[in-house]
């Protein structure tokens, strides 16, 4: 476009504006550009494990303001990672058998078809952020242990003791009650051995353009053997995203999920036309079929719990567990809320 045309266009616009000031009816209407309706491919939606109730709300708010889906997801799960009262992820997560908190996380960004993950990360409160840095700035996907820690420090993260007084007390109680025949003294015989909690948050989300991402973060199985990593940092198991289909992830016994690549499998079920909840149930049936006999009860049902969460490109979402479960969701029409998930069995 030439300078002359540009000036003529400017002068014409100025005249119309002046006319609009003097006579605000017909001239102003003629000067307005035609109204264009913005196409919306999907509805905003976020689905997560029940401990992500705050995260789905924050993630949805950020997406509606234009924040990228992956960035919104990381901000959502960071709420739990930074909460010292939450023993499931991040700061205050339950440690391994030596009293060391080792964290895992992974994420996948649908629009760029990239993923990042860290495993057995020590001393860094927000492994989800470190996983995102692996995705953004390297050609790798998974960094582990000392290498993951040094990578985080190189980006300015501060190394801290992640064991809070509360999580340390739980670890000490477990140590003192592992068994009456071990070498530890002062065992309280009236207190049964502590259960082995699993703690994870999975968050899957889609914006109005149908852009999808997923994030999973965890402190892993409590009292685990040092170096153990579950499904959370494994792309295709703990979480998975296909930008043309949807996203899915899991919480619960990670080893059972690894055996079926549950995140990937759930997305594949959706690719074949299944709704998110049906896709989760189909994956759970594969989990049961792959469960070793030592983890099956007398009725042939697994002795552990595992859940899957999923969202498709249109913004439909769902959840299912082996046994009754709850999950968190937030969308265009509904605020953050807990819902009942589907399940295969009524009780263990």
Sign of CA dihedral 219, 223, 224, 230: negative
CA distance 6 to 251: 60
CA distance 156 to 341: 40
SS3 at position 275: coil
Provide the greatest CA pair distance for the chain: 95
115 exposure class (CB count in 10 Å sphere: 0-12, 13-18, 19+)? buried
CA distance 1 to 7: 10
**278 Cβ partners below 8 Å, 6+ apart?**
269, 318
Residue 224 and residue 96 in contact, taking contact as beta carbons nearer than 8 Å: yes
Residue 42 and residue 324 in contact, taking contact as beta carbons nearer than 8 Å: no
198 is catalytic: no
Of the candidates 76, 56, 130, 117, the residue with the CA atom closest to the CA atom of residue 263: 117
147 exposure class (CB count in 10 Å sphere: 0-12, 13-18, 19+)? middle
Q: List the catalytic residue out of 69, 198, 200, 291.
A: 200
Residue 127 and residue 118 in contact, taking contact as beta carbons nearer than 8 Å: yes
Pairing of strands 342-343, 317-321: parallel
Edge to edge, the sheet with strand 246-252 lists 239-242, 246-252, 306-312, 317-321, 342-343
Of the candidates 203, 189, 170, the residue with the CA atom closest to the CA atom of residue 97: 170
CA distance 126 to 189: 38
Q: Which residues are catalytic?
A: 200
């Amino acid at each position: 476009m030439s300078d002359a045309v540009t000036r003529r266009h400017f002068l014409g616009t100025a005249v119309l504006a002046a006319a609009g000031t003097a006579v605000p009816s017909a001239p102003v209407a003629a000067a307005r550009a035609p109204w264009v309706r913005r196409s919306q491919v999907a509805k905003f939606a976020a689905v997560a494990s029940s401990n992500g109730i705050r995260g789905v709300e924050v993630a949805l708010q950020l997406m509606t303001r234009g924040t990228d889906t992956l960035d919104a997801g990381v901000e959502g799960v960071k709420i739990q990672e930074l909460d010292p009262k939450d023993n499931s992820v991040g700061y205050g997560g339950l440690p391994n058998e030596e009293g060391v908190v080792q964290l895992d996380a992974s994420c996948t960004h649908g629009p760029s078809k990239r993923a990042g993950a860290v495993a057995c990360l020590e001393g860094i409160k927000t492994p989800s952020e470190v996983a995102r840095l692996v995705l953004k700035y390297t050609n790798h996907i998974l960094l582990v242990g000392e290498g993951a820690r040094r990578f985080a420090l190189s980006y300015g993260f501060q190394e801290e003791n992640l064991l809070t007084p509360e999580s340390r007390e739980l670890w000490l109680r477990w140590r003192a009650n592992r068994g009456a025949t071990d070498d530890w003294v002062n065992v309280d015989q009236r207190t049964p051995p502590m259960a082995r909690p699993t703690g994870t948050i999975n968050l899957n989300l889609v914006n109005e353009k149908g852009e999808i991402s997923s994030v999973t973060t965890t402190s892993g199985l409590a009292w685990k053997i040092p170096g153990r990593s579950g499904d959370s940092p494994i792309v295709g198991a703990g979480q998975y995203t296909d930008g043309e289909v949807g996203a899915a992830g899991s919480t619960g016994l990670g080893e059972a999920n690894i055996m079926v690549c549950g995140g990937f499998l759930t997305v594949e079920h959706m690719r074949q036309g299944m709704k998110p909840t049906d896709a989760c149930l189909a994956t759970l049936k594969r989990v049961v079929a792959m469960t070793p006999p030592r983890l099956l009860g007398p009725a042939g049902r697994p002795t552990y719990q595992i859940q899957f969460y999923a969202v498709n490109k249109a913004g439909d979402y769902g959840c299912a567990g082996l046994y009754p479960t709850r999950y968190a969701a937030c969308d265009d029409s509904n605020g953050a809320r807990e819902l009942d998930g589907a399940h295969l069995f009524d009780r263990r």
